[in-house]
Amino acid sequence: MARLTHMAREGKAPDGRSSRWDAHREVRRAELVDAAVRAIDAHGPDVGVASIAAEAGVSKPVLYRYFADKDELYAAVGQWGADEVMDRLLAAILTEASVRDRVERGVDAYLGAIEEHPNVFLLLVRHRTGHGDPLADGKARIAATFARVLGDTLRELGVDAAGAEPWAEGLVGLGLATGEWWLSRQTMTRTAVGRYLTAFVFHALEGTAAELGVPLSALDAPGLVPDSVSPITRRS
Amino acid sequence: MARLTHMAREGKAPDGRSSRWDAHREVRRAELVDAAVRAIDAHGPDVGVASIAAEAGVSKPVLYRYFADKDELYAAVGQWGADEVMDRLLAAILTEASVRDRVERGVDAYLGAIEEHPNVFLLLVRHRTGHGDPLADGKARIAATFARVLGDTLRELGVDAAGAEPWAEGLVGLGLATGEWWLSRQTMTRTAVGRYLTAFVFHALEGTAAELGVPLSALDAPGLVPDSVSPITRRS
DNA sequence: CCATAGCCGTTACCGCCAGTAACAGTTAAG
DNA sequence: CTTAACTGTTACTGGCGGTAACGGCTATGG
């Protein structure tokens, strides 16, 4: 993390001159992320730091007070995008409906979200955090949430839950790749991609569940899901 | 494409002084790609051009005689990797066996391939060609082959084939994401990931086929596949 | 037989862009 | 009234992708 001066003080007597900025820093950082999002929307996922700074009405060194390097800034944008997507996706999924319907609504919510900020989405697809920290980039964040939901559900049902992680990662990759293809080629309407993607995902889930000996209808009640979700998706 | 001097001559009277190099150039280019692969294997997917040149025992300008820019070089490496993967994958898939078995063998062949050159694989996952040419990077190459196979199969069966492309892209994304997760975390044995990935893919295919009104057993004979594959995968 | 066309390869440079140094001003806490 | 944190600037460094400009080798063409 980019650290401002006061972090050098090692937790000794709390000095008001330091703490009075705590709130400010957060909001400022958010503003900068916002500016970065605007810049990326406008100039594509490969904008230079200079352009982002300009969009924020600020010079580079200011930016570097809040983000250690470009990677960290991009990671923050990625998380912003991931939250954007997950907020809608979860809202669509955590409803009372058949699994098929929930998948369909989730997929549509997802496609709608990435359609609004295609460039940010591309960033999310491409960015890899250097220092292997999961949760650092948006993609990993989404995968972690999926893994958690899947894992909890499987454990709840008393079946082998080890597949949760690979499946979560795979699902994310599936969605990202389909989304990227759709956005960059625009050769198919949103509802059409949605239909195909929904079918694919649903059948993968359905068949896998069946193989584990669980009738899919056991999942029609979404009761257990919210708890396992909140701690990760919500912004800190 | 990177072009050497003789390309400036616009196809006029064939001069032996030009054509005598034709064979040489190809082999040389291949050597350089090989060197790049070695360099990437050794130093990760973010090697500098200088290191690649060094590995090839050559200075940068030489490299740039064969590749217009870093992107083109990386694209060539990506294609190399894609071919490496597809050769094995197709060999495993185009056999007489149940669909499930073929998927399983394909998945295992795939995992084996990426295990041998993890860094090249990472490059393949990450690299995006700038100038939107499909087939330029390895990922797109694989997706195109999948799309072709799926599309031909669906058309052969007389059902809606429009899903071939999104499904192909999605499948590739699914595989790449799972592979990347597995390689970078190494928290699961190859056979285990293979099992989970196989189940997921198989059920997606099976369920989707069923939804289209096709019994999956109709696909157990792999007769039609080879033709649609060769023109794309084979190296020119 | 020598000019020519293409290759071989080098060193030394340019230009871009991420990241930094150094400096000056402001505001509120101690 | 000092001090700690912010505000912000301009102008630099350093790495790396890419290029210019040079000289030498070998086989084809007339």
B189 inside domain:
yes
Do A154 and A78 lie in one domain? The reply is: yes
Amino acid at B205: L
B160 inside domain:
yes
Which nucleotides of chain D does any protein CB come within 7 A of?
3-11, 15-21, 27-29
Do A169 and A211 lie in one domain? The reply is: yes
A2 inside domain:
no
Do A150 and A169 lie in one domain? The reply is: yes
Name the residue closest to the C1' of C11 by its CA. B59
Q: Are A107 and A158 in contact (CB under 8 A)?
A: no
Residue with tokens 């319907």: A101
Do A149 and A62 lie in one domain? The reply is: no
Q: Per-residue confidence of chain B (236 residues) as pLDDT tens digits? A: 555 544 444 444 466 566 777 778 888 999 999 999 999 999 999 999 999 999 999 999 999 999 999 999 999 999 999 999 999 999 999 888 999 999 999 999 999 999 999 999 999 888 877 665 666 688 999 999 999 999 999 999 999 999 999 999 999 999 999 999 999 999 999 999 999 999 999 999 999 999 998 877 766 655 444 445 544 444 44
Structural domain count of chain A: 2
A3 inside domain:
no
B93 inside domain:
yes
CA atoms of B192 and B175, how far apart (whole Å): 14
Do A60 and A153 lie in one domain? The reply is: no
CB under 8 Å to A115, separation ≥6 — which residues?
A183, A190
Q: Are A112 and A175 in contact (CB under 8 A)?
A: no
* B200 vs A178, A208, A210: nearest CB: A208
CATH number at residue B158: 1.10.357.10
B97 inside domain:
yes
- pTM of the full predicted structure? 0.88
Residue from B200, B211, B212, B214 whose CB has the most chain A CBs within 10 Å, to mutate: B200
pLDDT tens, position by position, B68-79: 999 999 999 999
Q: Which residues of B touch A197 (CB under 8 A)?
A: 166, 170
| Residue ranges for chain A with pLDDT beneath 50 | 6-12, 223-227, 230-236
- The whole domain housing A56 covers 38-67
pLDDT tens, position by position, A69-119: 999 999 999 999 999 999 999 999 988 899 999 999 999 999 999 999 999
Do B44 and B74 lie in one domain? The reply is: no
Q: Which residues of B touch A207 (CB under 8 A)?
A: 199, 202-204, 206-207
User: Where a domain ends, among A28, A52, A67?
Assistant: A67
Q: Do A199 and B163 touch (CB under 8 A)?
A: yes
Instruction: Output DSSP code: residue A167.
Output: H
Do A53 and A158 lie in one domain? The reply is: no
Any alpha helices (H) in chain A, and if so which ranges? 16-19, 22-43, 49-55, 60-66, 70-93, 99-116, 118-126, 138-156, 164-185, 190-211, 225-233
Do B98 and B177 lie in one domain? The reply is: yes
Do B205 and B144 lie in one domain? The reply is: yes
Please count the residue pairs, one from chain A and one from chain B, whose beta carbons lie less than 8 angstroms apart: 120
Do B154 and B169 lie in one domain? The reply is: yes
Among A208, A106, A229, which residue's Cα sits nearest to residue A164?
Answer: A208
Do A54 and A163 lie in one domain? The reply is: no
Q: What is the pLDDT of residue A128?
A: 78
A129 inside domain:
yes
A205 inside domain:
yes
* A181 vs B166, B192, B208: nearest CB: B166
Nucleotide of closest approach to B18 (CA, C1'): C6
Q: Do A206 and B203 touch (CB under 8 A)?
A: yes
Do B121 and B190 lie in one domain? The reply is: yes
